[in-house]
Structure 1
Amino acid sequence: MDRIDSVVLKQNTGYTLLEEGFNSGTVKKTERLPFTIKVVSNRMELDKAVEMRRAAYRRHLPEFAETMGVEALDGAHGTVVLLAQSRLDGGPLGTMRVQTNAFDSLAVEQSVRLPDWLGQVRLAEATRLGVARGAIGRMVKVALCKAYYMFCAQNGVDWMLITARSPLDREYEAMLFEDVYGQNEFLPMSHVGGLPHRVMAKPVALVRQRWAKVNHPFYGFFFETDHVDIDVSVASLQGEAGHGIERGSLPDSASDYLRSLSEAEA
């Protein structure tokens, strides 16, 4: 897929409540997009998402793309499929699947064992990202990333996880994702065709301050603009299943890790 231009960023950290991520007092404008993003709710929409996945994956993993269809995980509890559709003709322009660990292990855990500091917190992994070619695809990709963040903030997710192949991993570095394992370490991922990927994460509660500190180019798009065409509302995942935890009650390993981030970057 087309790359988002990287920026050189210096990381900083701070704490915020998830609810403050989209405080209406900070919104400066309302903006309409030439497409909508919503959670897939029927088979027709899911088929459009799969069509978009195959078209995107065909550009870099053609053999794997031919095997792609509707997957069991698409309909699993605690998982949503996001679909971007043209407001002009309803055609698919992009898709992303977001799986939480509210009911089951994440797809990435088919390939790696997550470290202890991610073992008892609410996680959400983004997979099966695919967008159309060209400028519209780049715009859709950024909007899908905002939708991913919105979903996490609205559903009490503590950490966002992605796996990224080269050179797209640099885009996620620019969005302040960090390596879960060794720096720039690539590991084979069975759920993405066996290709080496970096496993990267970022804490939802710190996104706003970090981006504000570095004057991130997407800050205004994410936090100061109300995009009425992005709707990630679903039945709340809060309090469901065994992985859910109360805010403010992170296990010691996760709390210690967040604290170490602050101390290292102060």
Structure 2
Amino acid sequence: MNERNSASNNGLTSLSLIGDAAEVGISPSVQQARLPFTVRVVADDEALARALAVRQKAYMRHVPDFASTMHIPEKYDREEGGLVLLAEAKLTGSPVGTMRIQTNRFRPLAIEQSIDLPSWLSGRMVGATRLAVEAGGPGRMVKAALFKAFYLYCVNQGIEWMVIAARTPLDRQYAALLFRDVFGVGEFIPLAHAANIPHRIMAFEVGTAERRWREAGHPLHEFMVATHHPDIDLSAAPSLAWPGTSVDLQIPADPADINSGAGNAVRRQPACTL
């Protein structure tokens, strides 16, 4: 029996972010699952060019005018305190997905150019932008794996809040992952730094994620936190070395945990300093 067939299809919904991807490693009995692609951190210009290619191709489907210059790196693609994830198909080696992550370690989040975040949304935060995957069924699986890489990065770096700005229909997929609205329920706000395209601003508390997914019986719970995916490699992600921490949060006691939520059900807490 292969890894995909050994995973049970417990309570899957039709939401596209869950879709095919939740079938990989969903059973508690599956400790490791392989993906038909790899996810890695962009570490050189060649990898960045591959990420830009899939980014532009995806954005051309929805906002062609905005995407016309996306083959050119943006300043956030190389900025300290951020990184770009790249998914590549094993069979062909072609880029199939990407996501950019930007923390507020060294400067405010990009979204704060356009809006003022409420006081409850503060501390160690990270934003995800430029999510792009190939069209069709395979893209749904890539999207879920990119989100898992995003989540694991947050866990390993002691980040408290994910903050995203999503266009429709992607906003509904984040809502399905239990992101909450920052402003009005379902409210879309034009963002000046994103060509005034309306986005829904949503946030997600990292430290309570495992409990909330488990209590909700979320179809992606096992995929996200109880299955080791060796094809997700965050080893090239630089440590943020947040002030007030006495350890390097990037390196867990068990190196395998950097690719698996199994050892991260409770987020590592940074040491307090007085």
- Give the TM-score of the pair, scaled to structure 1: 0.80
Partner of 1:260: none
> What's the % identity of the aligned pairs?
46
| Amino acid in structure 1 at the alignment position of 2:200 | R
Q: Alpha-carbon deviation of 1:138?
A: 0.6
Query: Once the 2 structures are TM-superposed, how far is the Cα of residue 167 of structure 1 from its aligned partner?
Result: 2.2
Establish whether residue 96 from structure 1 lines up as the match of residue 108 from structure 2: no
* Residue identity in the other structure for 2:142: V
Equivalent pair of 1:27/1:224 in contact (CA under 8 Å) = no
User: Normalized per residue, which structure has more helix?
Assistant: 1
What secondary structure sits across from 2:142 in the alignment?
Answer: helix
Greater relative contact order (Cα 8 A, min sep 6): structure 1 or 2?
1
| Residue 81 (structure 2) aligns with | 78
State the partner residue of 2:108: 105
Q: Normalising by structure 2, what TM-score?
A: 0.77
Which of 229, 233, 237 is residue 240 of structure 2 equivalent to? 237
1:36 aligned counterpart, secondary structure: strand
- Per-residue deviation, 1:225: 1.0
Q: CA deviation at 1:185?
A: 1.3
Separation in structure 2 between the aligned mates of residue 63 and residue 82 of structure 1, nearest angstrom? 24
- Distance in 1 (CA, whole Å) between partners of 2:50 and 2:228 is 26
Partner residue of 1:10?
none
Q: 1:170 to 1:248 in 2, by over 3 A?
A: farther
Q: How many residues are matched? A: 226
> After superposition, what is the alpha-carbon deviation per residue over 1:170-229, rounded to whole angstroms, capped at 9, x for unaligned?
111100000111211110123333211111001100110000011101111111210000
Are the structure 2 counterparts of residues 240 and 70 from structure 1 closer, same or farther at C-alpha, using a change threshold of 3 Å?
Answer: farther
Alignment partner, residue 57 of structure 2: 55
| Contact kept? 1:52, 1:92, Cα under 8 Å | yes
1:118 aligned to which of 117, 121, 127: 121
Provide the secondary structure at the position in 2 that maps to 1:77. Answer: coil
User: Which whole-Å CA distance do the structure 2 matches of 1:236 and 1:168 have between them?
Assistant: 29
Please state how far the C-alpha of 1:232 moved relative to its aligned partner: 1.7
CA distance in 1, matches of 2:156, 2:45: 25
- 1:100 alignment partner AA: T
* Unaligned ranges ≥5, structure 2: 1-14, 20-27, 245-268
Give the secondary-structure state (helix, strand or coil) at the position aligned to 1:226: coil
Q: Distance in 1 between matches of 2:144 and 2:193?
A: 23
Unaligned runs of 5+ in 1: 8-25, 250-266
Q: Contact 1:152 / 1:158 at 8 angstroms: preserved in 2?
A: yes
CA distance in 2 between counterparts of 1:240 and 1:191 reads: 29
Alpha-carbon deviations, 1:25-75, whole Å to 9, x = none?
x88421111110010000000001111110000011000010222011111
Residue from 156, 159, 162 that aligns with 1:157: 159
CA contact (8 A) 1:85 1:92 kept: yes
Instruction: Indicate conservation of the 8 Å contact 2:109/2:127, yes or no.
Output: yes
Residues 185-264 of structure 1: matches in 2 within 5 Å?
A: 185-233=187-235, 234-239=237-242, 247=270
- Alignment equivalent of 1:4, drawn from 5, 12, 16: 16
- Cα distance in 1 for partners of 2:50, 2:40 equals 12
In the aligned structure 1, how far is the partner of 2:187 from the partner of 2:46? 38
1:141 partner SS: helix
Report the CA distance shift for 1:193/1:79 in structure 2 as closer, same or farther (over 3 A): same
- Cα separation, 2, equivalents of 1:248 and 1:206: 18
SS in 1 for 2:144: helix
Superposed displacement of residue 240, structure 1: 5.4
Displacement over 2 Å in runs of 4+: 190-193, 238-241, 246-249
1-side partners of 2:203 and 2:242: how far apart? 23
State which of 43, 46, 49 in structure 2 corresponds to 1:44.
46
Residue of structure 2 in register with 1:169 after alignment: 171
Asked if 1:87 is matched to 2:90, the reply is yes
Write the mapping of 1:10-21 to structure 2, written as runs, cut at 5 A. none
Contact 2:104–2:126, Cα closer than 8 Å, also in 1: yes
User: Does 93-102 or 66-75 show the bigger shift?
Assistant: 66-75
Whether the aligned pair in 2 keeps the contact of 1:93 and 1:131 (CA below 8 Å) is yes
The letter of the residue matching 2:113 is Q
